[in-house]
Homo-oligomer: A and B are copies of this chain.
Amino acid sequence: MSQPTPVATTWVNGRVADNLPVTDRGLAYGDGLFETLRACRGTLPLQALHLARLQRGCAALRIPFEADLIAAELNNAAAIVGDGVVKLILSRGTGQRGYAMPADATPSRIISISPLPLYPSDRRDGVHLFACTTRLADQPLLAGIKHLNRLEQVLARSEWQDPAFAEGLVCDQQGAVVECTMSNLFARVAGQWVTPDLGRCGVQGVMREYLLAQLAERRQPARVARLSRDALYQADEVFCCNSLIGVWPVVRLDDQVWQVGGETRLLQSLAEQVYL
């Protein structure tokens, strides 16, 4: 007997609802933040890192951050979905026309649950990257946080349809490597992991943070630094990661081919242990 496909369920400000007032500033200006969490047997293993990033985003955008309320709602959603995805959108709330932040806005919390995305299982043994021509703009005020202004990612992701490419590499305006469209990138250079500095553009992924912490704990700290396209090509191992996919080794970009290395397998194993 086949199981019925789970239907995504949504809550708005704590109540079951699937719509939002059109005056919400999340719609009007992308004035808000989001988090996408992987639920595992009803829990959210990386919740603390997600909430820390959300708090940084709230500080940058000056949106009130109600940690306990949000954590409770996320945990409730995780208990319902079991194994799956919990997504939170936190917008500034409704407002009149005009860019000025309303003095009295109450943030909107939109939480939805959905099944884990069905990626081909062989991606854990290596993926091809598409080289996107879309370049990320330098904006230190918004770099690192997961805000709702995501047209750059939408444009970059639209550059390829061929499913042979699992992800797309995105660079900054100067041509340095930043990240992939929905994941962060690590490269093994001269015996050390390097991941691009995200001080001017890019999203500080939670899996990236987790792996950086794991490496630091093992006294093999990664370097967070500028990574040129040439340095990436010459790297010994490359992988991309996020909290849903874990670690995907990169085995091809343009004409460059890599083997899946032992250091990548080690981090992949650490990522997979999060959800055991």
Contact = CB atoms under 8 A, between A and B. Distances in A.
Interface residues of A, number: 55
A157 B30 contact: no
A18 interface: yes
Contact of A101 (B10, B28, B154): B154
Interface stretch (A45-53, A135-143, A218-226, A248-256): A135-143
Interface string A131-149: 0001001110110000111
Given A22-B10, A22-B89, A151-B31, A157 B100 contact: yes
A152 B31 CA distance: 10
B97 A85 contact: yes
A193 to B, nearest CB: 26
B31 A20 contact: no
Contacts of A158: 62, 100-101
A148 B97 contact: no
A91 B149 CA distance: 13
Nearest to A168: B99
Number of copies of this chain that the complex holds: 2
Interface string A209-220: 000000000000
Given A18-B22, A22-B12, A22-B110, A29 B97 contact: no
A38 interface: no
Interface string A30-61: 11001010000000000000000000000001
Pick from A149, A153, A181 the residue with the most CB of B within 10 Å: A149
Contact of A134 (B27, B29, B117, B141): B141
A28 B148 contact: yes
Contacts of A89: 22, 27-28
Nearest to A156: B99
20 contacts: A10-B22, A19-B20, A20-B27, A22-B112, A27-B110, A27-B148, A28-B34, A29-B153, A29-B154, A30-B150, A30-B151, A31-B150, A61-B154, A62-B158, A99-B154, A100-B157, A101-B157, A134-B141, A138-B138, A142-B151
Given A28-B148, A29-B149, 15 more contacts: A18-B21, A19-B19, A27-B110, A28-B34, A29-B153, A30-B30, A62-B158, A97-B114, A97-B117, A99-B150, A99-B157, A99-B181, A134-B141, A139-B152, A147-B151
